[in-house]
Amino acid sequence: MLRPFLLSLVLLPCLLPSPARAEWQQHQWEVMGTRASVTLWSEQDASPLFAALEAEMSRLNQRLSPWIDDSELATLNRKASKTPQTVSAELYALLEKSRHYFQITEGAFDISFASAGHLYDYREGKAPDDDTLKRATSHIDARNIQLLPDHQVRFTDPGTVIDLGGIAKGYAIDQGIALLQQAGIEQAWLSLGGDSYVLGDHRGRPWGVGIQHPRNRKAIAMRLPLRDTAMSTSGDYQRYFMDNGERIHHIISPQTGKSAGELVSVTVLAEKSVDADALSTSVFVLGREKGLALINRLPNTSVIIIDQQGAVHYSNDLAPGQ
């Protein structure tokens, strides 16, 4: 009696379709001016999925980069103050999202920061002189971006320049995660610069996602246990140069056209990366008090702020002792 039972145990694995591999697979590449990284669990060779992710992010870069001459965004910047432009549903939706964040941040998140922002060259260490900056800053006002019916967009100020750098990477991650889910992936970590999303868990345990130490490249300030969560960090250490002891970095206060100076790192947790991305930039500009108040008003959204003194501040839902 024992024999057939043993036999079936031995045979069973051979009868099931054998997976090519079941393991963590990883891939890294450069896109959108930063490093993309994906780790996922799959029983199949993930190379085709990695290629699909690369293709999707390249497509978005080609559409949304202000630096590629024939991108949809660059074309809009060149033409929208002359005649209304019809844009793709995808770009239009991102402009609507950006308008939403402009409204709920009372102007701190403003994609028209670029009329001033594009005058800085962080790699070369160059900033505009005061007069030039003042003139450019007078063109920052997202109300000059009119979203008309039928996906038409018009700029009412000829000096308007827009840049989706504060929100596009988050959107790209959401697109990437959707692609992985459609392929049946249940556990993955996808990151693009300071933005990431963790899908599912890490074989039964939460993922441990680190917040980079803002003043020590090799150190982690804090590690968070997360699953099915978007996380975005905005820091003054990602793109910057020093000028007479002043740190000139890439997050711009729309009121002054200069770097927002109160905080050094803002990490937002949310359900979608597009929201986490826009909000981390927003809170960085708003500063501690207004930033915490904003996040505490939003459902399923948390923030961890590190200020100039190195003190850490949490939204109410994360505050120790809660």
CA angle 138, 116, 102 (to 5 degrees): 75
Residue 159 CB-density burial (10 A; 0-12 exposed, 13-18 middle, 19+ buried):
middle
Contacts of residue 208, defined as CB under 8 A and 6 or more positions apart, other chains included, come to: 202, 223, 224, 225, 226
Residue 285 touching ligand ADP (CB under 6 A) = yes
Q: DSSP character for 205?
A: B
> Site map for ligand ADP, 91-110, x if CB under 6 A?
------------------xx
Closest distance of CB 289 from Mg ion, Å: 20
Residue 257 touching ligand ADP (CB under 6 A) = no
Contacts of residue 40, defined as CB under 8 A and 6 or more positions apart, other chains included, come to: 24, 25, 46, 49, 180, 185, 187, 188, 189
250 binds, among ligand ADP, Mg ion, none (CB under 5 to 8 A by kind): ligand ADP
111 binds, among Mg ion, ligand ADP, none (CB under 5 to 8 A by kind): ligand ADP
Among 94, 111, 177, 211, binds ligand ADP (CB under 6 A): 111
Binding residues among 117-176 for Mg ion as defined by CB under 5 A: 166
Which residue type sits at 67?
W
Among 73, 80, 251, 286, binds ligand ADP (CB under 6 A): 251
Contacts of residue 28, defined as CB under 8 A and 6 or more positions apart, other chains included, come to: 35, 36, 37, 38
Binding residues among 4-43 for ligand ADP as defined by CB under 6 A: none
Residue 171 touching ligand ADP (CB under 6 A) = no
Residues that bind ligand ADP (CB under 6 A): 109-111, 113, 117, 163, 165-166, 169, 193-195, 232, 234, 238, 250-252, 254, 277, 280-281, 285
